[in-house]
């Protein structure tokens, strides 16, 4: 048995930030955290010059990367390219996300993710289907021609996919699904997330009661808090068991709005970070196509030609810097939002988001300036 100890860096275990400790690794598995003064006899010691040893980022909304959009390359090769691009930025677990598309494309996405998991493609832990059962009024950059209500065949496909995949997240709008459909999907293991909806608070609460347990990119493409109608945002912040993804680029959501939401959110459901990343991550492309429409990349934002935001030009490490530097959350809270909180939303985290008991390949070294996250 090979025993190594990593010292000289803070250690974040997915929940707690430890200082003055050592990370113990035996035969490629993280075995424990101990005081530097209590290192096991005979272990090999690796010294680090500051920074943080932590689980790799967990991103539950990844549309593309490495110049590839999942909608365009819905295959094992496409997933491998996307996962590799995000791994280079510190992400070790992700849900490739299919944006509103046809039923045939949805089937391809399920098959591709199942193949990727069977082939042990690093980082692929399930699938996120964002649409097509959304609201036209809150469609965002989704193709309105493909948005539709959920039929029996759609529900059957999703329930079958949930049995085949460790994690299946499906973003739906209450306008396009029924409460009974939400309940049946949740019972079958689908992680039902509300998004792209103009629903009222009472409708959202009914969906939560039926089994929806997440909200997709909080504040964006949804009903907002008003003085007489709290909308989905209000329902999310006041619901104790509901998780919510947040695009923390200071473009999709203002830093002060993020600060208010984090102060207001009731537990145990948590707000976690997502990138909503498109094909631009890990590439220098300046434009690409989404369902036949041009998406332009400029000044850190992605838009359709009419100015509508179309995903995000964002890496998880930059989201960390935003929530620490502009929103003002603690480093420990920010790291949890990028790891343990997201993993807690999953049905089967597959060792993602936490250190202990996981493989050393999941561990990254975050530099002190939070500019790089590299393999251990």
Question: Which H or E run contains 64?
Answer: strand 64-65
* φ and ψ at residue 297, rounded to 5 degrees: -110, 120
> What is the distance in angstroms between the CA of the first residue and the CA of the last residue of the chain?
19
Burial class (CB in 10 A: 0-12, 13-18, 19+), 179: middle
Q: 13, 249, 250, 276: which one is catalytic?
A: 276
β partners of residue 296:
287, 303
Give the span between the Cα atoms of 82 and 85, in whole angstroms: 5
What ranges make up the beta strands (E) of 100-160?
Answer: 127-130
* φ and ψ at residue 112, rounded to 5 degrees: -65, -45
Q: From the centroid of its chain, how far is CA 306?
A: 27
Pairing of strands 3-7, 10-12: unpaired
Give the span between the Cα atoms of 85 and 80, in whole angstroms: 9
**Quick count: other Cβ atoms within 10 Å of Cβ 114?**
18
Location of structure tokens 């959202």: 204
Give the span between the Cα atoms of 176 and 187, in whole angstroms: 19
CB of 58 within 8 A of CB of 92? yes
Give the span between the Cα atoms of 90 and 143, in whole angstroms: 31
Our answer to whether residue 276 is catalytic in this structure is yes
Location of structure tokens 């790291």: 335
Give the span between the Cα atoms of 364 and 352, in whole angstroms: 12
Number of continuous H segments (helices) and E segments (strands) in the chain? 10, 22
Closest by CA to 343, choosing from 281, 274, 278, 275, is 274
Catalytic residue annotation: 276
């Amino acid at each position: 048995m090979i025993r190594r100890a990593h010292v000289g860096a803070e250690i974040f275990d997915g929940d707690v930030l430890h200082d003055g400790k050592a990370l113990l690794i035996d035969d490629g598995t993280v075995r424990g955290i101990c005081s530097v003064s209590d290192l096991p006899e005979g272990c090999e010691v690796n010294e680090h010059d500051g920074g943080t040893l932590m689980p790799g980022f967990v991103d539950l909304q990844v549309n593309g990367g490495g110049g590839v959009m999942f909608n365009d390359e819905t295959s094992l090769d496409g997933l491998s390219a996307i996962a590799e691009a995000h791994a280079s930025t510190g992400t070790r677990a992700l849900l490739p996300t299919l944006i509103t598309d046809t039923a045939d494309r949805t089937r391809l996405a399920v098959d591709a993710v199942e193949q990727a998991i069977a082939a042990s493609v690093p980082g692929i832990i399930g699938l996120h289907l964002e649409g097509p059962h959304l609201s036209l009024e809150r469609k965002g950059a989704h193709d309105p021609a493909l948005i539709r209500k959920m039929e029996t065949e759609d529900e059957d496909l999703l329930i079958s996919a949930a049995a085949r995949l460790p994690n299946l997240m499906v973003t739906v709008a209450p306008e396009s699904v029924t409460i009974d459909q939400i309940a049946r999907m949740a019972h079958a293991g689908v992680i039902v997330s509300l998004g792209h909806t103009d629903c009222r608070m009472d409708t959202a609460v009914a969906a939560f009661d039926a089994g929806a347990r997440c909200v997709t990119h909080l504040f964006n493409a949804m009903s907002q808090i008003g003085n007489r109608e709290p909308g989905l945002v209000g329902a999310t912040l006041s619901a104790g068991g509901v998780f919510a993804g947040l695009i923390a680029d200071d473009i999709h959501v203002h830093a002060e709005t993020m600060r208010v939401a984090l102060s207001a959110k009731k537990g145990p459901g948590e707000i976690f970070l997502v990138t909503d990343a498109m094909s631009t991550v890990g590439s220098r492309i300046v434009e690409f196509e989404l369902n036949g429409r041009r998406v332009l990349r400029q000044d850190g934002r992605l838009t359709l030609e009419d100015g509508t935001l179309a995903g995000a030009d964002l890496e998880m490490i930059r989201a960390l810097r935003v929530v620490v530097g502009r929103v003002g959350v603690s480093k420990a809270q920010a790291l949890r939002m990028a790891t343990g909180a997201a993993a807690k939303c999953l049905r089967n985290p597959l060792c993602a988001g936490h250190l202990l008991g996981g493989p050393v390949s999941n561990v990254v070294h975050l530099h002190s300036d939070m500019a790089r996250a590299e393999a251990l």
